[in-house]
Amino acid sequence: MIENIPIRIFELIIQGDRLPSSDRELLVGDIKKNSDCFLPFDALSIEMLADSNMVDEVFVDGVFNDIVDRRSRLMALVYPEISQALSRQNILISPPAVIFSLLWYYWLPLAQRLAFQQEKAGRTLIQGLLGGQGTGKTTLGYVLNILLRHLGKTFLSISLDDFYKTYTDRQKLRDRRPEIIWRGPPSTHDIDLGIEVLQKLRDRSPAHSQGIAIPRFDKSLHNGAGDRREPEISENADIVLFEGWFVGMHPLPVSAFRNFVPPILSERDREFALECNANLYNYLPLWDYLDSLIVLVPEDYTYSLQWRIEAERKLIATGKTGMSDREIAHFVEYFWKALHPELFMPRIITPTSSSDRGGDLVVKISRSHMPTKIYSPKHRI
């Protein structure tokens, strides 16, 4: 994460104090210096710079001063509520001052960008979010809900999990395809249901409240196999966050599976990987409803195994049942076999041609779950 701003400046901002001119100049200069990060992120500044023929230094300074003003006001407004909300959800960010940087460089500009994009679209905005366990999807959802409310927007979060096929249908699928050990890989979701829900959300008139049934999935049912529960009724939603571990992921050419990549080590493993890849084609009509895609990607994909082990050990420490380290490794490797990060993620985070469907925004995540880099891969083609 970019951390060039002294903590004392952020403390002045959240206290609502007027910044000395030297501190203000530091904020403006920092945004300019990190324009590769900010310009893809701050939609407002992009539009202002793109729509104007004035590119002199005075105008550019005005744009970045405006960014600082907007971001500072919003940060002072929301910091107490976000800090308390994260504490209630037992989401620990250490040291606590890291929240300042997360707000300034990541959460605030993202919320402002989403609000701006929704107003420009004039309808419900459907924002895709691709990320595995430990990358911060849940935290981001909590924070965006608060920020967008302060920006005058209603917010709804939907998981790809909510579109799982029913328990009965998944049992039938497993009878036909014994390789489907757990729910999760392509083929275990009701794609038609997903399309129906996203289409209703996208096409709902902003001027008229209309209840839409949002499916919800309860992972605790059927001894952990999970099943649908009563749907939630959404009366309105300006911005929908549609998240999941392979949301927006496109299939690869068969040639990508020519070589074995651990844990894909046998012909049977490769057949499973090829089948999951082929099943991704069925999801493309669902991805068509995404207005844009944010990708949360670990700096090393093997972090997901370490994160899962840590999460399971914490669960067991509270007295609840959990998987052993060996069971976790088997579980995580199952998903790597289905859609291997080493095969799929490079085309999303570093597209090599305009035909690659890369993410619109990529957030690199460190071993400590913190973002280290934010960029728009499409601007690099």
Question: What pLDDT, on a 0 to 100 scale, did the predictor assign at position 38?
Answer: 46
* Closest by Cα among 236, 207, 359, 370 to 291: 359
Q: How high is the pLDDT of residue 37?
A: 52
Structure tokens of 30?
A: 């920092």
Confidence (pLDDT) at 355: 59
HSE of 378, CA atoms in CB hemisphere, 13 A: 15
Q: How far apart are the C-alpha atoms of 13 and 19, rounded to whole Å?
A: 7
Output the pLDDT for position 353.
63
CA pair distance 378, 216, nearest whole angstrom: 33
* pLDDT confidence bin for 207, thresholds 50/70/90: confident
Amino acid identity of residue 275, one-letter, is E
Length, in residues, of the chain: 381
Confidence of residue 241 (pLDDT cuts 50, 70, 90): very high
Q: What are phi and psi of 244, to 5 degrees?
A: 175, 170
**What pLDDT band is residue 180 in, cutting at 50, 70 and 90?**
confident
38-72: pLDDT as tens digits: 444 554 554 545 444 445 555 566 778 888 988 99
Task: Considering only the C-alpha atoms of the chain, give the largest distance between any 2 of them, rounded to a whole number of Å.
Answer: 69
In angstroms, the CA 288 to CA 381 distance is 22
d(CA 66, CA 152) in angstroms, rounded, equals: 19
Distance of CA 138 to the CA centre of its chain: 9
On the question of pLDDT at 251 being above 90, the answer is yes
pLDDT above 80 for 147 = yes
Q: What is the mean pLDDT of the chain?
A: 88
DSSP string, 106-120: IIHHHHHHHHHHHHH
**H helices present in 186-293, as ranges:** 191-203, 267-279, 284-287
pLDDT at 286 over 90: yes
* CA Rg value for the chain: 22
Helix pair angle (108-121, 137-150), 10° resolution: 60
Q: Under 8 Å CB-to-CB from 148, ≥6 apart: which residues?
A: 111, 114, 115, 154, 155, 238, 239
